[in-house]
Amino acid sequence: MKKKILIISGGISKERVISLETGRQVAKELTKNSYNIKIIEPDFKLLDVIKSFKPKVIFNALHGQFGEDGYIQTILETTNIPYTHSGVISSAIAMDKDLSKKIFVKNNILTPKYFLYSFDKKISELIKIIDKKLKFPVIIKPINEGSSVNVFICTKQNISRKLKLLKNYKKIIIEKFIPGREIQAAVIGSKKLGAIELRPRRKFYDYEAKYNSKAKTEHIIPVNLSRKNYKKIMNLALKAHRLINCKGVTRSDFKYYNGKFYLLEINTQPGMTSLSLVPEIALYHGISFIKLIELILKDASTNK
């Protein structure tokens, strides 16, 4: 009989729906392959369920705040049971876009210029700062959300209106908008998995483009890059993965413009839904969905 796997999904973040779908997809695949599966929400019963079910590995299917920022990982550390994906510190660093960008810059990984904004200036003053430091258009986004939640492209004309949508965040990132191609690269364990290019019909690969099938983002694999540039982007993804000491699978999001790769962010909990990129990349390289899941489980087991 195959081993017990506890899947944690759902949660309280803005990515709850995606997390539930990831959990369902992973559970469905594992159940088909004779694993003993239990799915649970990360509520006050979590530790009791872990204690009674006694899983061999915990599959963390949570996305967003609480699920990939070190909080749930801190709780799971107390169980002494292997869990998937990155640990406490790595998860916290990757989720904090300001902190991770500082690490990228320090280690010569190109990333868009940015500054932090805490809603402490008038719009006219902010526009002057942007004109001086970044130039329009810019991207505004929360420091610690995933799946492109509340990410907007702003011009001088719409920045005031867009900022109001983020007023509940104490501090946000204002980042130089980089045009060009959207290319995402995946790493699992210490190995380069592969890359995929995205051509969204929307202005950029935002939440709708990622998870709404009607948005019809075009997925291009293999990516049309020279061998040299393909090797470069995969080396950058692996470098970022190692710098933050990530485990399991990560997906690094890049913009390719004027012959340069700009790393936007690294995701320690990439989605595992029917529209998700990592399973698609894996399948292209001959790794089925169940095999991908088993590689993630194995990495958790051997790296705890």
Indicate which residues carry an active-site annotation.
15, 147, 211, 251, 253, 265, 267, 271
Closest-CA residue to 32 (of 293, 278, 263): 293
Question: 196 with 221: CB under 8 angstroms?
Answer: yes
The two three-digit tokens of residue 164, written as one number: 């109001």
Task: Tell me the H-state helices in the chain.
Answer: 16-32, 46-53, 71-77, 88-95, 97-106, 123-133, 159-164, 207-211, 227-243, 277-284, 289-303
Cβ-based neighbours of 31, under 8 Å, separated by 6 or more: 37
Question: 249 with 296: CB under 8 angstroms?
Answer: yes
CA angle 262, 283, 184 (to 5 degrees): 5
The two three-digit tokens of residue 6, written as one number: 């506890």
Cβ-based neighbours of 231, under 8 Å, separated by 6 or more: none
Q: How many CA atoms lie within 13 A of 24 on its CB side?
A: 9
Closest-CA residue to 73 (of 211, 289, 248): 248
CA angle 137, 143, 145 (to 5 degrees): 105
The two three-digit tokens of residue 71, written as one number: 């909080």
Closest-CA residue to 293 (of 8, 22, 73, 10): 22
CA angle 264, 281, 202 (to 5 degrees): 50
